[in-house]
Amino acid sequence: MKKVLKNALLAVGFSAVLAATPLAMASDHGGGHGGGHGAASEPAAIVMSPSQAMAEIIEGNERFKETHESHYFDAYQNSQSPVLTIVTCSDSRVHTNLFGFVPDNNIFVIRNIGNQVVNSEGSVDYGVRHLPTKILMILGHSSCGAIKAAMGDYSGETTGIKKELDPLGPVIAHDDHQGEFKTRWAKNVEQNVDYQVNYAMKLYADKVAHGDLIVVGAVYDFNDIYGKGRGSLIITNVGGEKTPSDIMNNPIFKEIDPSLVVNHVSSRAQ
Ligand SMILES: [Zn+2]
């Protein structure tokens, strides 16, 4: 329990923070966040007040400073040298420390609803053209609310949200409406990743052609939709290649044990 509370800021949703309810464990899961897996064993969401959240922000940073001496920051006093530009969803359930290196000075992160290049194109340009990183990853995720919203009527949303959902139109236009909603939703999440990869490959065609950039598409699956366990990182697209067997043969995986690659490559859309 102690550990859970210490990490509460990571577990709590934004709306829950705004709810200003005292720190408490709800008696049931409540639902409403999508996914809908394993309701009976689902732990309750931790609710934090804004002042408790702020305390965790300040105290958490102090803990970070205590465990990272001043020289930790030496390497990036004057410039950054990330190895990866990533475009992922703002959804709080998607974490970027799922990679093997610490995010600091290693990952140039761009987040928006639905992990869309077009809605943050200047930021992506900066990562790819100015830093420049040789990998651009588009990371979608299971239970993406932006995709779900784009699949339905979002005309009642705010001007800002509508503006950011509209570019998902071409993705949703390919929805064949076959099967149950959850199946279509998962497929659309992956097809959005493919769409974004395709968009980026056209935008940076010069770099891609010269071998200076590889665009990788992936889905962070915290619902076990791909059957590889909750929290799996599923590679679904490498340089426009979407067929799992072909993805696995891409030289970008040459440093990885093939058996490990197999467990990280899949497709719900192909
Ligand atoms: Zn999302």
Residue 193 Cα to ligand 1 midpoint, Å, equals 11
Structure tokens at 190: 């992956």
Query: Which pTM was predicted?
Result: 0.83
In sequence order, what are the residues at sequence separation of 6 or more whose Cβ sits closer than 8 angstroms to the Cβ of residue 254?
Answer: none
Residue 189 Cα to ligand 1 midpoint, Å, equals 9
In sequence order, what are the residues at sequence separation of 6 or more whose Cβ sits closer than 8 angstroms to the Cβ of residue 191?
Answer: 171, 174, 269
Structure tokens at 95: 């974490």
Residue 186 Cα to ligand 1 midpoint, Å, equals 11
Residue 28 Cα to ligand 1 midpoint, Å, equals 24
Query: CA 200, CA 92: separation in Å to the nearest integer?
Result: 24
Residue 255 Cα to ligand 1 midpoint, Å, equals 30
Residue 168 Cα to ligand 1 midpoint, Å, equals 12
- For residues 77 and 103, the answer to whether their CB atoms sit within 8 Å is no
What is 75-262's CATH number, 3.40.50.620, 2.60.40.10, 3.40.50.150, 3.40.1050.10? 3.40.1050.10
Query: Domain coordinates of the chain in residue numbers?
Result: 2-61, 75-262
Residue 67 Cα to ligand 1 midpoint, Å, equals 32
Give the chain's largest Cα–Cα span.
56
Residue 34 Cα to ligand 1 midpoint, Å, equals 11
Q: What's the order of all strands across the beta sheet hosting 135-141? A: 107-112, 84-89, 135-141, 214-221, 232-238
Residue 128 Cα to ligand 1 midpoint, Å, equals 22
Q: Phi/psi of residue 185, each to 5°?
A: -60, -50
Residue 144 Cα to ligand 1 midpoint, Å, equals 4
Within 10 angstroms of residue 93's Cβ, the number of other Cβ atoms is 20
The amino acid occupying position 110 is I
Residue 36 Cα to ligand 1 midpoint, Å, equals 15
Residue 79 Cα to ligand 1 midpoint, Å, equals 30
Per-residue pLDDT of the chain (270 residues; tens, 9 = 90+): 333 344 444 443 333 333 333 333 333 333 334 443 444 566 777 789 999 999 999 999 999 999 999 999 999 999 999 999 999 999 999 987 778 888 899 999 999 999 999 999 999 999 999 999 999 999 999 999 999 999 999 999 999 999 999 999 999 999 989 899 999 999 999 999 999 999 999 999 999 999 999 999 999 999 999 999 999 999 999 999 999 989 999 999 999 998 888 888 988 876
